[in-house]
Chain A
Amino acid sequence: MPDGLQYRHKKSDYPFLLPAVIIVAVMTQVPFLTTLVFSFIRWNLSRPDMARIFYGLRNYAYFLRIKSLSELHQFYGVLFQTVVITMMTLFFCSVFGFMLAILFDHPIPGVNIARTLILGPFFVMSTASGVIWKTTILNTTFGWYGVISKALGMTPVDFISYYPKVTIITLFTWQWLPFFFLVILAGLQGIEKDLIDCARIDGANWWQTTFKIKLPLIVNHLQVAIMLGLVFVIKEFGLILTTTAGGPGTRSYTLPYYVYMEIFSASQVGRAGALAAMTVLLTLVLVNLIYRSIQRRNAKYR
């Protein structure tokens, strides 16, 4: 009996699916569930003399407990920073990504080369982006920023120490804008030329065609870009490590960086587990919010 018939009888194609499912489950789900288990244990790696005991919700309480409003645990600050950095990055990516896409939608000769150049930063590894910006651009003595501002008679400011969040947002945007640009441009190119021509004949000006016709037509694309951008930006780590290293103090910590420090610097496995769990929760909440708004919008337009 040939294989095909056998499958038809069993009506099941699991053998195709299972190897992939198993390895993905073993490498992602199992560790994640273990992390959750860790989050309920008191486990300080640097103190093997202290027994590992069930700790209930105290690892979570350590971060979440509010003693007084003036002295919130730094977790709240980090949470706020994570949300601000992520949201600002996505906002700038959307706005500038749209503007650039509109501009680069013009058929000038060799526009493809220009588009390709814009795309470059997206494929650069984050650690390389970080060290390059830090040493060749932002450095106040050796970098372009320092040299140019001195030539203009200004005193260069050490951005990385004084405006760490701005630096991080700028670099994230530099890295992720190309992705938005690419997706939005694809959306723009999907718009039928007739539609725009008709609008022009009807007397619509540039402003109207751009924001009243083109923008609504690519909102779907933009939302997808935002959603994917969110998933990737919120877990970004290398750029922070190589530029500000979370500092000064904890002023540019994000949740992934905080988890990293909690396990590798403080050796607190249990607390790191609780933090990681809350990071996942935050990701899910934000993704859900954006997903809902897409759904709502789609429902409205249907």
Chain B
Amino acid sequence: MKKYLASIVIFLLALSIAAPSFAAPVTINIAVANNYISQALSRIATAEYKAEGVTVSISVLPENDLRQRLTAEASTGGAAYDIYYIGPYEAQTWARNGWIENLEPYFEKLTPEEKAWYDRDDLIKGMVQSVSLDGKAYGTPFYGEGSFLMYNKELFAAKGLTMPERPTWDEVYELAKKIHDPSNGIVGMTMRGAPGWGMSGAPFVTMVNAFGGKFFDMDWNATVDTPEQRAAWSMYKKILREAGQPDILSYTYNECVALMQSGKCGMYYDATSIAPPLEGADSVVRGKMGYVYAPHDKLERNNAWLWNWTMCLNPKAEQAKKDAAFKFMLWATSKDYVALALKHDDTGSSIPPAVRSSTYKMPFYAAIPYVDAELAVLESMDFTKPCLDPVPYVGLQYIAIPEFADAGDKMTQNLADYVVDNITLDEAIKRTQEVFEAVAEDGAYKD
């Protein structure tokens, strides 16, 4: 019997030698989201990235998996991934929690030639801000988006309407009603209707900001039950119910884009990254679209949203890996990479947008209709002052606290119930007010 057990132990030892080598000396592990531009990074890096003794292992995960996996890893102090591929929502709290590394020391160590090559001043300010804490960069944004209002010039012309360069929500609502024509299958305006903080929550929260609303005052008292918020709630409903898509709640941005592409919709408020498919070869509305600033109300500037995918360093990784990883991050967010992306894919769909001003000055962009509007929106954004009044949080289409994901989901659920008349405005506001009161209490923010 002892021999038997001994032989099992020997078997295990033999196994550990025979086990396939699962990690080369310096292998940088990174997982990216499975969207087009991130997948392109995976392809281009495999083909083009060369650094002595360094292997980059990139896997592509569904966005939700990625977010959950990385959050769980960062919070438990794991080192499965050396580079975290996250957004500003995570980056803000993670920087505060010490889950991602301050990059300033790494930037300081660069030679002057390297500094000139990377050209930090070329990066769009709002994007860098969104992944910085106390003015120190904690990540290098890879690509991003703002939001603007897209409209179908042809439909506008047919009704003799014009779009102001900086429309208000009231104007947008009036325009939407004029264009809305169900008997001919024309929809006035579309926005995301499917619940979820990253879904209908994104346009809706910027709408709350635009109307001068906020979610907390400086003492972390929930401020959902205010006239400003009520105005935003009823405007969202008015537009979608009186001039919106028929099946409101099932619309994610995919459905919205498809509707817009079909040429049967007047306006669409969403991310700047939506514009390329509208101007794509198979789009009916190609060349017929106009682009203007996100609609406003009391808050006249800075009412768009801002998102990006950013690479950050895992502080738990070994120093050698961190150094190699930082080099890779620089490469992936450099001007060189932008050029490579165009070389590998001459339609330009792989180019990471919204991070470098120089990207928009490339000859490739000269003839593209949305470029000026996009760059104007991006350069006007201020991540740190989301609301009309001072607030204790940052973030434009969300609040950068960990509890917001859950609270935002509940809020958009109430919003959905309100839009389809399951509950009244009073009930929706009351429930959401309670949700945010619970957040302040649960997260011990008032202490």
Contacts and interface: CB of A to CB of B under 8 A. Distances in A.
Find out whether A and B make contact in their complex, taking CB atoms under 8 A apart as touching. yes
Contacts of B431: 71
Given A46-B93, A48-B97, A266 B443 contact: no
Decide if the interface of chain A is mainly helix, strand, loop or mixed. loop
A264 B97 contact: no
Nearest to A67: B434
Contacts of B67: 265
B1 A3 contact: yes
Interface residues of B, number: 26
For chain A, give the interface size range.
20 to 34
Contacts, number: 52
Contacts of A216: none
Given A46-B93, A50-B443, A267 B195 contact: no
Determine chain B's interface SS by DSSP, over half rule: helix
Contacts of B368: none
Interface string A261-291: 0011111000000000000000000000000
A245 B64 contact: yes
B75 A249 contact: no
B444 A50 contact: yes
A16 interface: yes
A15 B72 contact: no
B1 A267 contact: no
Interface in A1-54: 3, 15-16, 19, 44-50
B284 interface: no
A266 B406 contact: yes
A120 interface: no
B402 A264 contact: no
A47 B402 contact: yes
Nearest to A265: B68
B250 A161 contact: yes
A249 B199 CA distance: 12
A248 interface: yes
A249 B68 contact: no
Nearest to B406: A266
Nearest to B1: A15
B5 A264 contact: no
Contacts of B194: 248
A249 B195 contact: yes
B68 A46 contact: no
A16 B68 CA distance: 42
Contact of A267 (B71, B96, B98, B444): B71
A46 B69 contact: no
Contacts of A48: 75, 97-98
A48 B69 CA distance: 17
21 contacts: A15-B1, A15-B2, A15-B5, A16-B1, A19-B5, A19-B8, A44-B443, A45-B71, A46-B75, A46-B97, A48-B75, A48-B98, A248-B194, A249-B195, A264-B69, A264-B71, A264-B72, A265-B71, A265-B405, A265-B406, A267-B402
